[in-house]
Amino acid sequence: MKPARKGWRHLIDATGYSIRGLKAAARHETAFRQELALCAPLFLLALWIGSEPVEWILLLGSCLLVLVVELLNSAIETVVDRIGPEYHELSGRAKDIGSAAVMLALAAAGLTWSLLAWQKFMA
């Protein structure tokens, strides 16, 4: 076990690990790259659709939620794949549950964007 770092050193190390994780996801996970590419223009669009800070938070937060859930799903899939290539019912279930979480996050984001866009353009 490595010695525990404290204070600023711990914060710096943790930030480095997080950046390394983001780079790994961008390099190895197609779904993460696709969702990241979708979120980039949506961030700009959110500033136009939203008319107040709470709406901006909802729009941007829903995009970030999708990315966070995708990162967690990718982590689950990576650990399951590390265990072994042979099929196991529990491994398949873990991957399916992670995928379901991403689907629900995407649905929540789609609902948020749809309702706020409807409010701006149709109301």
Task: Point out the annotated binding site for ATP.
Answer: 17, 29, 77, 86-88, 95-96
* Catalytic residue, candidates 52, 55, 70, 89: 70
Check if 70 is active-site: yes
Which residues belong to the annotated binding site? 17, 29, 31-35, 70, 77, 86-88, 95-96, 99, 113-118
Measured CA to CA in angstroms, residue 118 lies from 46, 65, 111 at distances of 13, 21, 10
Which long-range contacts does 32-35 make (Cβ < 8 Å, 24+ apart)?
A: 32/67, 32/70, 32/71, 32/74, 35/66, 35/67, 35/70
Which residues belong to the annotated binding site for a divalent metal cation? 29, 77
Which residues belong to the annotated binding site for substrate? 31-35, 70, 99, 113-118
Sign of CA dihedral 68, 71, 76, 79: negative
The CA angle 65-78-10, to the nearest 5 degrees, is 70
Quickly count: other Cβ atoms within 10 Å of residue 59's Cβ: 23
- Positions annotated as catalytic residues are 70
